[in-house]
Structure 1
C-alpha cells in the first residue's frame, strides 16, 4: 500500500478478506462519524511535547555578516527550520579547518573539531537541510581531488617504484660481488625503498572501522569529517567493531597523539588525531541512545539541534548559489598549517584577543557554577561548554573571514567572535542540550503518547485500533501494552473518544475515534 494512501489506510486488516461495512467505511473516511464523548473541553496539545523544554531560537546572526543570508535561504529551500542548516554549517566549517588552526587561551588549547546531531522525525526536514551543507562539502572534496591531478601523481609514483626496484637489484648484485671478492660493501641507496602509493586527498570518512580510520587519518593532517544522514549506524558501530570503538572516536575530539600498534603491520601514528562528526537522529531513537552512552563521555561533547517542527507552509524555493558557499568554505579547507623544526605540519595556534579573554572566562565560570546544581548528562554538558565555546569562536572568526577578500587569515580570535560563541552556547546549545536530555529522561509512556499524537496530527485518521498501530509500527510502536497506555493517555487528554466494537468478525477489538476538534481549532 502506498505510504500516503490515507483513504485506504485501515481498510485492509491482517488476516481479513472481506468487504468493509458501510459503518466502518464511515468511520474511516468521515471525521464526523459517530457520536463520541471526549474528555475535557478541548484536547490538551502539550502531550505532543514529550516533556521537552521549549525549543530556543537559533541566533543565525551569530554566524557573521554574510552567512545568515545564505543559511536562511538554504533553510527555506529545504522547507526546514533554520537550526538544521546553521548547525550543519558550523560543524562542517570546523571539519574543514581541522588541524590547520587551533584556538588558544594562555596554556589552554582546543582543536577545531565539533560533534553535532540534528534531531528530527520523518518530515522534519533535517535531512534536506543538512544536505544543503553536505553537498557543498562533497563538492569541495571533489575539487580537491581534481586539483591533485591523481593520474600524474600515479605516473610519477610508478616511475619511482620502477627506479627503486632497479636500484635495489643493482645494490643486491653489488653486495653479492663484494661477498664473493672480499671487496668493500656498497652503501645502501636512499631511494631504493618503495614509497607509499599516492592517496587522493579527502575530507570525509565513511563507515570505517577505528583501525581503518586511524590509517586514513595518519595521511590526513587536517583531520577528517564523519558525515552521516543518520548517526544511528555510527553509534551502533561502537559495539559492532570492538569495545574500543567509542574510545577511539572520543579521542578524535581531543586532537591528541595516537599510535596503533599492530601485530602484522607497521604502526599507524597520528600526531593530531582529529575528526568532526555530524548526522541526524530520529527522536524515537534518542532515549535509548542517550541511555546506552550515558557514561562514556561522548554524548556531552555533542552539540544538538532539535527544533520544533514549525514549518507549516511548503514553499518552492531554489537553493542559494552553491558556488558561493563552495568558494567561501574552500578558503577554510585550504588554510595552510604551520611547520615544526623538522618541517612537519603542525597547527597554527590562534590566541584569544586580550580584550575578549574576560568575556570567555566569566562565561566559563558561570557554566561551571551552574553544573554544580545539576547531575548526569546536562551537568557534563555544562562542564564541556567552555571548550565548545572556544572552538566555536575560532570557527565563527574564520567563517566571517571566508566572506572577505582579505588574503591573510585572522591572527587572533576577536571579542565579536567570543561574544557570539558564548551567546550561542548560552542561548541555544545549552538550552537545547537540556531539552534533548530532558526528553531522554521522560517515561517511555510519554514518548509513546507523543509519537502517536504526532502521527494523528500528520495523517488525520478518523479512527483506529491497537492492531492498526502495531501492525504498521507507526513511530516504531510495536508493544501492545505500550500502545494501549499511549491511547489511554491521549483519551484522558481529550484526543480520543470512547471505544466501541469495530464490527469485525470474531474477537471484538476496541476502536478509538479521533477528536475532530484537533483539526478544526488552531492550537
Structure 2
C-alpha cells in the first residue's frame, strides 16, 4: 500500500476532474446523520464534499451519464496506490445504500490516513467500519470499507496485492472465506462471538487475539506447503595431529601457523611439498616386495581459502627453508662462475703456447732423422693434442645454477631448467587458478601433457624449441604448490566435470587442503622459534646433499644396470600393513559414488608411499645412521595423512558431487534476504508478490548463479523443497509466448 505522501504525483483519474466543483461539507450539511457525523470526525478536515449538482463520471459504467447526486454528501474512495478513484454519495438520514459513482475499479473508503507500517483491516459496511476505526484509534491499525458489500471480495483482493489485509468473518463463513481468498495475502481473525461483538463488549483487540478459541489464519500461507530446510554445509574435515609429522617439521609449521593465526594445514602442506621437491629424483621407494613399481616423492599441493585467509603468507612461511637453499645455491653459483672465469683466463693464456708447442712437435716428427736423440713419437703428439683438447673442453663447462624452484614460466624455459637440474624442480604459483587456466587454453595441449607427465617424476622428456633445437630431460620431475580461492576452484571443477578435459589434472593435487577458517582473533605477536627454524633449515640442506653413498648408508638399495637410482622398500613390519591398506583403498575407490573421487583416491596409492619415504629419510637424517627399510612408524604417519587429506578432498569435490544443493543453498540465502527486507529494492518487480523469471534471476549475476545450468539446477531444487512454485503466465501481448514465473513461498517468513 502506497501512502499519500509517496503518491504525490499519482496518475490523475476521472473523478479528480470533478472534485473542485464541490465545496467541503460542514456539520450542518450532514443534517445530524450519525454515520456521516462519525465519518466526518474520523477523517481530515474538508474530506467530505457537499454535492450540489449531478455528477457525470468520466470513467466506469456510468461514464458521461449524470447521476442523481444533488443534495448528497460525498466521500472520496482510493485504490491501493492512494489514487482518487470514485465518490460514494450518502443521502443524510436515509438508510438505503449510498451511491458509488464508479464501481468498475477497486477502491475503498479509508477511515484515517493510510500508513505503510499499519495493519489494514477491511470490512464490508460503513457502520462496522466506523465502530472499528473508533476502537483502533490509538493502535497501529487503519480501517477501510468496501464501497458496497457486494464489492468486498474484489476490494480485499485488490489491496492484498501490496499489503496484508485483515478481515473479521464469522465462524459460519470460515470455509467460504478460506475458499474465496485462498492464496491471497489475507489474514482471517475469527473470534468466538465475532471480533466486533467482543470489541463492543469492552474487550481490547489484544485480548481477543489471545483467546484460546480465536482462530488466526494466514490464507497466503495456508495455500502453500511448509518449506523444507535446505542445509548445504561443507563436509567436515580433520586436522593434522602431532604424530603425523616428524618433530622438526611439526614445530616449525606450528610456530608459523600460530604467528599467522592460520590453520596448521596452511603451512604444513606446502612445507612437505617443498621438502619432497628437494628429495626429487635422488631416491625412490618400491612399495611392493618384488614388483619394480617405483615412486619418487615429488608432490602436488594446494591450500584453499578465501582471499582474506592468509594463504599467501602461510605458503611464504613454508617456502623459507627452500628459499634458503636457493639463496645458498645462488651464492655457490657466483663462486663457481668466478672460479670458471679465473681458470678460463689461465687456459686462454696457455692455449697459444700449447698450440705453438704442438706445431713444433708435429714439425719435428715430420723432419726428424731416425737416429735423432729424444725423438718425438706419434704417441707424444697425440698426448699433447689430447691435453690441449681437454683444456679447451673445460672452457665449455660453464657453471649452471642449481634451481630448486620456479614461478610463472614457459614450458620451453622450464625444460631448459630441468635439463640443467637433474633432480626436478618445484613450480610455485601464489594463485593456482592462473596456472590451471593457462593449461586449459586452446593450443596448450602440449604444455598440459608436459605437466601431467612431470607428475610421475620417474620418466624422461623431450622439449622442442623453435630455432634452438631440442632438449632431452633425463629426469622429468615436477612438484607444484600454490593457493586457490573456493569460488574459482568451483568454477574450474564445474567446467572440468562438464567434459572440458577431465584428464586427471586436478586429481594430481593430492596434497589439497580446505580447512575451516580460523576465527579472527586479537593480533598475535609471537616470537619466531629459532630452534625449530634452524632445525628445518638444516634438514632441507641435508636432504639437498643426499647422494647415492649416503642413501645406501641409510639402508637404500644400490642402483644397478636395470635401475638408475637408489631405492628403499618397506621393512618387514610395514610391508603387510601397506598391502592391506592398498587393497582397502582400491575397494573404497570402487565403491565411490562419483568418478572424480574414484580417480583421486586411486592416486593415494602413490601418495602414501611417497610421504612414508620422506618421513623415513627425515628419521635417517635426524638419527644419523642406517635404519634399513621404510619403517612402520613412517607408514602409519603417511596413512594418517591420507585419512586427513581424504576428508579435505571430499569437501573440495562437494561443490560438484552435491552441486544441486550447493546452488539451491546460494539462491535460498538470497531469497531469505529478500523476505527479511520485505522485497528486493534493486528490482522493479516485487518478487515476493509477483514472482520472478529465470531471466531476471540471471540478470542479478549473483556469484555461483550466473549461468543457465546453475540457475535451473537451483530453481528445480527449491521447487522440490517447497520454497518456490512454478507457473506459466500467459503473455499480455498479442501472440506472445507464455512466461515461466517462479513464486516465492510466503511461509518462508517462519525461517527468519
* TM-score scaled by length of structure 1: 0.72
The aligned residue for residue 355 of structure 1 is: 573
Question: In the alignment, is residue 388 of structure 1 matched against residue 607 of structure 2?
Answer: yes
- Preserved CA contact (<8 Å) 1:115 1:301: yes
Q: Could you tell me how far apart the structure 1 residues matched to 2:573 and 2:351 are?
A: 61
Q: 1:143 to 1:371 in 2, by over 3 A?
A: same
Q: Could you tell me how far apart the structure 1 residues matched to 2:251 and 2:524 are?
A: 14
Q: 1:484 to 1:121 in 2, by over 3 A?
A: farther
Pairing partner for 2:650 from 434, 438, 455? 434
The aligned residue for residue 86 of structure 2 is: none
The aligned residue for residue 301 of structure 1 is: 508
The aligned residue for residue 3 of structure 1 is: none
Alignment of 1:409-488 (within 5 A): 410-425=627-642, 427-443=643-659, 446-448=661-663, 465=682, 475=703
Secondary structure of the residue that 1:271 maps to in structure 2?
A: strand
Secondary structure of the residue that 1:295 maps to in structure 2?
A: coil
Q: Deviations over 1:25-57 (max 9, x none)?
A: xxxxxxxxx99999999995723x3xx433233
Q: 1:438 to 1:158 in 2, by over 3 A?
A: same
Question: In the alignment, is residue 159 of structure 1 matched against residue 342 of structure 2?
Answer: yes
State the 1:379 CA deviation. 1.3
Pairing partner for 1:74 from 228, 239, 256? 256
Q: Could you tell me how far apart the structure 1 residues matched to 2:406 and 2:698 are?
A: 37
Q: 1:278 to 1:490 in 2, by over 3 A?
A: farther
The aligned residue for residue 321 of structure 1 is: 528
Alignment of 1:100-115 (within 5 A): 100-105=282-287, 106=289, 107-115=292-300
Greater Cα shift, 227-236 or 346-355? 346-355
- Preserved CA contact (<8 Å) 2:461 2:476: no
Q: Could you tell me how far apart the structure 1 residues matched to 2:249 and 2:718 are?
A: 43
Q: Could you tell me how far apart the structure 2 residues matched to 1:408 and 1:495 are?
A: 67
Pairing partner for 2:542 from 317, 328, 334? 334
Question: In the alignment, is residue 225 of structure 1 matched against residue 426 of structure 2?
Answer: yes
State the 1:91 CA deviation. 1.7
State the 1:104 CA deviation. 2.7
Q: Could you tell me how far apart the structure 1 residues matched to 2:564 and 2:541 are?
A: 15
State the 1:80 CA deviation. 2.3
Q: 1:376 to 1:478 in 2, by over 3 A?
A: closer
The aligned residue for residue 583 of structure 2 is: 365
Pairing partner for 1:142 from 323, 327, 333? 327
Q: Could you tell me how far apart the structure 2 residues matched to 1:136 and 1:469 are?
A: 50
Larger relative CO (CA 8 A, sep 6+): 1 or 2?
A: 1
Q: Which runs of 5+ in 1 are unaligned?
A: 1-22, 24-33, 497-511
- Preserved CA contact (<8 Å) 2:330 2:401: yes
- Preserved CA contact (<8 Å) 1:371 1:380: yes
Q: Could you tell me how far apart the structure 2 residues matched to 1:393 and 1:82 are?
A: 20
Q: Could you tell me how far apart the structure 2 residues matched to 1:452 and 1:123 are?
A: 24
- Preserved CA contact (<8 Å) 1:367 1:382: yes
Alignment of 1:141-220 (within 5 A): 141-146=326-331, 148=332, 150-163=333-346, 187=385, 189-193=389-393, 194-220=395-421
Q: Which runs of 5+ in 2 are unaligned?
A: 1-114, 116-162, 165-184, 186-219, 367-377, 550-557, 685-695, 725-743
Q: Could you tell me how far apart the structure 2 residues matched to 1:433 and 1:60 are?
A: 21
Q: 1:394 to 1:481 in 2, by over 3 A?
A: closer
Secondary structure of the residue that 1:260 maps to in structure 2?
A: strand
Larger gyration radius, structure 1 or structure 2? 2
Question: In the alignment, is residue 92 of structure 1 matched against residue 300 of structure 2?
Answer: no
Q: 1:490 to 1:341 in 2, by over 3 A?
A: closer
The aligned residue for residue 486 of structure 2 is: 283
